[in-house]
Structure 1
């Protein structure tokens, strides 16, 4: 199975859409959850700074600068995450863990953001981002408390990176899984289509195998096979009735025809034409019944034991020689392109098939028309038989109907006698040889192509 066929299948496109949609939904959900987490984290960060400033204010009011220095030293011994700075009215450092009053960016409601320059304010920290808040104390002193928010920035980058990688991994795994799932589904559909194709070609006895299918697919196959059973039963009933009628009436018609032949010998000259007409009518009815019975035998596969190896080209040449005088009488140009091709088959049935096809071509091609008959080899070990004429042809809408029993085009009913069984017999012969027949436009006229064996 080709990769492109799998990638363009409905199953894969559905799986791809599902995986992409799921990945986007998961990414958005995780982003929203992280946004809520980050917001709460930053709220807690700000609340901690406000509480720390309140504590520093209380310490200053009670103990002054010395109290602030002692408090900061205690916090350092406890490895606090806060950074402190106490400055005088000129913003000159008095005490604290920051080296100097920093440059900052105020982002609202008294909150300060200290960017890259914060790394120079704290020794031994290569990268540092601080969020801070300052408070004006008595005697013009300024106190600042700050916390680093590198953690939330780093976690933000980590989360975003993780989300992207997770989504990419989900897409890749989903596409790989979708490919194999679509491949399995498509293979099962192709198996079902192959079975249906064989049934459409005429093998109504074949059924779609259930295999390992489960659920709806299995039920679909079961229902389809059940429908085929009913259809085959109905068609078998119709064919049985028509075959029985043909078989039961053939014997009395044969006796009637024999009696008419005897009567013809004894009739006088005035009654002779009428008796002759009756004999011809009986012959036509008997020919129709014989054709029906032969088609029934072919569809039942009763002639397969007579298969043999022979030259199809020589057989077609014999049929052409048989119809060449008739074609000359109608002033038809009969062209043949025949090569020797060996094939296994029933010689008599293939002879009858070519007789029917060439007879139709001669019958329906107007005077002065052309008929091409060709035999070409197909690989491996097959043959392509072609009968192309310049007659009126067959409309594309009726090209499948003409293979039905007793079907005849309205335009040919009054002009050309027949029973409408010729092409039914042809298809039965082709089907028994596991071949294929196609009716095409010859522009103008009809082109009949019969493929037997080989690749087609």
Structure 2
């Protein structure tokens, strides 16, 4: 238990929670002090206003009914002494006490002055009252005959109000502090729990278990959102590692086969001690070229996927680029009796790398020619749909099952029926990399029979100086 609490308090989450809680407590305490000061000032102002009103009242009594009426008013108040915490003193012009609650006139109090705080002790008060020693607010007025009176406000009520107010604020402050600490620790435990969940998943993956994932709490909070994104990233990482392993196996196999052929040919030449013929050298060079071509294709895909070829993009005339690709393969198509039907709108432009886009079009057209039977047709369509340019190449070959569409762009993936055809399984992988680089979509559709490969690019404004 102690180690668990120690671990909890050593986490960044709890330290941050406590730090912000302390900052909030400090601000809250400061706010309470300011509020306490404002309420105290307000109460003092109200006392001054009440004393001024009382002085006006006594003055009006004197004007209307004389000094005796003032004396009667003060004497009548003595029976309620202390209830409203008001005290009076009436003296004649010589200073002799006529009526009141105080034994003497305060030396520092003069008539005509505003309300002043004068020190009063128990010895200065006639009788026993609740109000004790302290600075009492007072005001004095002088009458025409030279007599004068003072009205004082005892501090018992004010002190009680201050104590009650302080107790309420202290209680609220303590409750809020406890709530903040509890919330801080609860938040810390929650964050630590999620962090441990992520840590356990990462540790499992580090130990080699690529299927490990972060558990979701189903609360759909920000932690679940982050965990969901991390799980998606782990899914992609697992897929990438799996593809990398498959690619490594395919690379090893595809390189090993021509290397074995080269070695066998060279070994036979050494055993027979014959001079190498041109045909022999040509076959060795062809095997080496196949290896180099495959390695170059992998390097191209790698550069494209890392975005290294994103620089120096220009506006590319897709209509012209498609026509150039068709012109390149037209002789091969005619030799096999394959007709290439074109339906291409003029003036279709996109932003991109012309060389990569041209290579992609050549790869797609090469695949279509491979899988299209002799004396058949290939359909090429290029048009503008809204803000997009759509290019599709459809053949009449055997087609591909819908569940295999996603596999077509994997490196070295080849359908069983295409194993006897030339190629290394990297053509559509390069096309996919180029499409991703251009933020374009690569879509496979059934042609009944055959396969349609569709590319969707974002269009740009037409230019006269097409590339």
After TM superposition, the score normalised by the length of structure 1 is 0.50
- The 8 Å contact of residues 83 and 146 in structure 1, kept in 2 or not, is answered as yes
Aligned to 1:3: 5
- The 8 Å contact of residues 131 and 147 in structure 1, kept in 2 or not, is answered as yes
Gaps of 5+ in 2: 275-467
- The 8 Å contact of residues 116 and 127 in structure 1, kept in 2 or not, is answered as no
Distance 1:125 1:77 in 2: 12
Distance 1:185 1:212 in 2: 15
Aligned to 2:127: 123
Cα 1:67–1:238, aligned 2, differ >3 Å: closer, same or farther?
closer
Distance 1:123 1:78 in 2: 13
Q: Superposed, which structure 2 residues align to 1:28-43 within 5 Å? A: 28-43=30-45
- The 8 Å contact of residues 113 and 140 in structure 2, kept in 1 or not, is answered as no
- The 8 Å contact of residues 89 and 100 in structure 2, kept in 1 or not, is answered as yes
Secondary structure of the residue that 1:45 maps to in structure 2? helix
- The 8 Å contact of residues 102 and 126 in structure 2, kept in 1 or not, is answered as yes
Secondary structure of the residue that 1:132 maps to in structure 2? strand
1:240 is displaced (CA, Å) by 1.3
Distance 1:112 1:260 in 2: 119
Distance 1:212 1:105 in 2: 75
1:265 is displaced (CA, Å) by 8.1
Gaps of 5+ in 1: 269-456
Cα 1:110–1:223, aligned 2, differ >3 Å: closer, same or farther?
closer
Cα 1:257–1:99, aligned 2, differ >3 Å: closer, same or farther?
same
Aligned to 2:52: 50
Aligned to 2:201: 195
1:132 and 2:134 equivalent? no
Distance 1:229 1:205 in 2: 8
Cα 1:200–1:122, aligned 2, differ >3 Å: closer, same or farther?
farther
Q: 1:95 aligns with which of 90, 93, 99?
A: 99
Secondary structure of the residue that 1:140 maps to in structure 2? coil
Aligned to 1:238: 244
- Per-residue CA deviations over 1:227-261 (Å, capped at 9, x if unaligned) read 22222222222221322454577688789989998
**How many pairs are equivalent?**
273
- The 8 Å contact of residues 102 and 121 in structure 1, kept in 2 or not, is answered as no
- The 8 Å contact of residues 131 and 154 in structure 2, kept in 1 or not, is answered as no
- Per-residue CA deviations over 1:184-233 (Å, capped at 9, x if unaligned) read 21121022022112213433232222244532221212122212222222
Aligned to 1:163: 169
Distance 2:22 2:98 in 1: 59
Cα 1:245–1:61, aligned 2, differ >3 Å: closer, same or farther?
closer
Distance 2:32 2:229 in 1: 46
1:119 is displaced (CA, Å) by 5.8
Q: Superposed, which structure 2 residues align to 1:19-34 within 5 Å? A: 19-34=21-36
Cα 1:89–1:234, aligned 2, differ >3 Å: closer, same or farther?
same
- Per-residue CA deviations over 1:347-374 (Å, capped at 9, x if unaligned) read xxxxxxxxxxxxxxxxxxxxxxxxxxxx
CA RMSD, 1 decimal: 3.9
After TM superposition, the score normalised by the length of structure 2 is 0.49
Secondary structure of the residue that 2:197 maps to in structure 1? helix
Cα 1:51–1:231, aligned 2, differ >3 Å: closer, same or farther?
closer
1:83 is displaced (CA, Å) by 1.4
